[in-house]
Chain A
Amino acid sequence: MEFEPKLVGFLCKWCSSAGADLAGVSRKSYPPNLVPITVNCSGRIDVNHIVRALKDGADGVLVSGCHPGDCHYTSGNYKTWRRVALLKHVLEDFGMNPDRVRLEWVSATEGEKFARTVEEFTDEIKELGPGPFSNAKE
């Protein structure tokens, strides 16, 4: 059976989650591998959440928030941007492929971009294979 990655998506409520809804109501199709978790702001997602998800079996983690300048809480997405940058650097040292963590800005009007992001990310992780703690069935 083909490897079907398990992906966790942390989506901010104001932009990315709305973007995901738009993808749905506009009937865009994209792979079902991502489990979306809506949070108030991408700034709510800290490094622990991402590392925990990877440790508990996710093959990839998507963090998605409002575009720079558009965060509902002014600067949450900038903080997340820096956290993710730092985390990727550390993950690499741990021996994990940093591409397993992806940050993407998706606005409420970008249903198409959301669908494309999930599609791309799913393909990319399929390519990479199961994560270090994967619990996806092979």
Chain B
Amino acid sequence: MPKNKKKIGAYWASSCGGCDVALLGLHEKILDLLDFADIAFWPAATDFKYEDLKGYGKNELDLTFFNGGIRTTENEEIAELLREKSELLVAYGTCAHQGGIPGLANMSEEVDLFDTVYKGTPTSTNPENIFPQESTKKDGQTLNLPGLQERVRSLDRVVDVDYTVPGCPPPPDLTEDFLDLLVKGALPEKGSVVAGTKSVCDECSREWNRETIDELVRPQETEIDPDKCLLDQGIICMGPVTRSGCDGSCPEANMPCKGCFGPPPEVEDQGTEMLNSLASVLQLGEEGQALEQEKELLSDLPDPIGTFYTFSLSNSILGGKVSEGGENDRT
């Protein structure tokens, strides 16, 4: 083994496991990585324990790919531990970057989440109302589980993040590019999101005719013209408010962008920005002639939060459900 071989780690917090699969999806490329570095911690693929991690010195891991948002006390604890043990900490994938789909749970209270998950789903029967407890005593033993935190947070809201590789999950070539930069020692400035710097529209090959639209349709309700901009066809496509870097893979596959790369640089909130875009193009007839009907059309939009904040609710300005009365967390 070369003496200067690097050590890398990977970790999953609140995520679906897809990002770990994406790392494995590097196929032969992962062998190149293994020439360059040893895996020193990767719970999804290798048998390392938290104790092993605790045994490492400060910054002993050269780089850690961290996927998943911060949802439980365990997620937070390990994020802090990995931050301490890693020279470079990479938010890998949308959940670490933006909270991701699990972040949509920020629209619900803990009791409702538990009720749905452990009681309400068609496949659960729970007549005794047994819910997970942080601490349970049984036969003289105490069993502890990590606690659920109030909100899902992205990794950078909890610890400093050096780089972000976005995507749900990050496409293999983006990860490869990142690894190439790492191996060459050519990584950009710390804090960078290592992807494009424009919007998905910029790399989408569909023809955009700046049309105004007079109705909103869902992709399953219409025959999609494969060459025309989806937004021009009345389909909500998050391309204009999503960072480039995926080669427009969803519109190329005849599906609208859902926004998984997060907002482009300079855009604070994907959802509010998309409302602006939509308000500019949705128009019935001559400008100003049918305002009331346009208003109605916009207000009929189903599930706006799920549509405009599929991946970025945690990092949006409002961050999730708010309640009237001045009691909400302003951070």
In the bound complex, residues from chain A placing their C-beta under 8 Å from that of B79 are none
Interface assignment of B275: CB less than 8 Å from any CB of chain A: yes
CA distance A99 to B3 in the complex (A): 66
Which listed residue, B298, B301, B317, touches A48 by the CB 8 Å rule?
A: B317
Contact flag A130-B276 (CB < 8 Å), given A48-B317, A51-B269, A81-B295:
no
Asked if residues B275 and A90 are in contact (CB atoms below 8 Å), the reply is: yes
Decide: A48 near B273, CB < 8 A? Known: A93-B304, A133-B326: yes
Residue in A51, A78, A134 whose CB lies within 8 Å of B288 = A78
The residues of A that contact B294 with a CB separation of less than 8 Å are: 82, 85
A75-B288 contact given A47-B276, A131-B326, CB 8 Å threshold: yes
B324 engages A51 (CB within 8 Å): no
Chain B residues, CB < 8 A from A135: 330
B330 lies within 8 A of A133 (CB): yes
Complex CA distance for A10 and B301, rounded to whole angstroms: 27
Residues of B within 8 A of A97 (CB): 324
Taken together as a complex, chains A and B put the C-alpha atoms of A78 and B282 apart, in Å, by 11
Q: Which residues of B contact A130 (CB under 8 A)?
A: 325-326
In chain A, positions 60-78 with a C-beta closer than 8 Å to chain B are 68-69, 74-75, 78
Contact B276 A48 (CB under 8 A): yes
Q: Is the CB of B273 within 8 A of A82?
A: no
* A96–B107 alpha-carbon span in the complex (Å): 12
**Contacts A47-B272, A48-B268, A93-B304 known; A82 to B324 CB distance under 8 Å?**
no
B152 shortest CB reach to chain A, Å? 16
Query: Closest chain B residue to A128 by CB distance?
Result: B324
Query: Chain A contacts of B299 at CB under 8 A?
Result: 85-86, 88-89
Chain B nearest CB: distance from A57 CB in Å? 7
Q: Chain A residues near B323: list those with CB within 8 A.
A: 95, 132
Is B34 in the interface zone, CB < 8 Å from A? Answer: no
Chain A residues with CB below 8 A from B325, complex form: 129-130, 132
The residues of B that contact A94 with a CB separation of less than 8 Å are 305, 318, 320-322
Check B278 for interface membership: any CB of A closer than 8 A.
yes
Please measure, in the bound complex, the distance between the C-alpha atom of A93 and the C-alpha atom of B295, giving whole angstroms: 16
- Of B272, B295, B301, B322, the residue contacting A132 (CB under 8 A) is B322
> Which of A68, A83, A136 sits near B276, CB closer than 8 Å?
A83
Cβ-based interface call for B139 (8 A): no
Q: In the assembly, what is the distance between CA of A101 and CA of B179, in Å?
A: 47
Bound together, the chains give a CA A129 to CA B323 distance in angstroms of: 12
Give chain B's interface residues, CB within 8 Å of chain A.
268-269, 271-273, 275-276, 278-280, 282, 287-288, 291, 294-295, 298-299, 301, 304-305, 308, 317-318, 320-328, 330
6 cross-chain pairs, A with B, having the tightest CB-CB distances, nearest first: A130-B326, A134-B326, A82-B279, A85-B295, A132-B322, A47-B272
Q: List 26 A-B contacts (CB under 8 A).
A: A47-B273, A48-B273, A52-B268, A52-B317, A55-B318, A55-B330, A56-B330, A68-B288, A74-B287, A78-B291, A82-B279, A82-B291, A82-B294, A82-B295, A83-B275, A86-B278, A86-B301, A86-B304, A90-B275, A90-B304, A93-B304, A94-B318, A97-B324, A130-B326, A133-B326, A134-B326
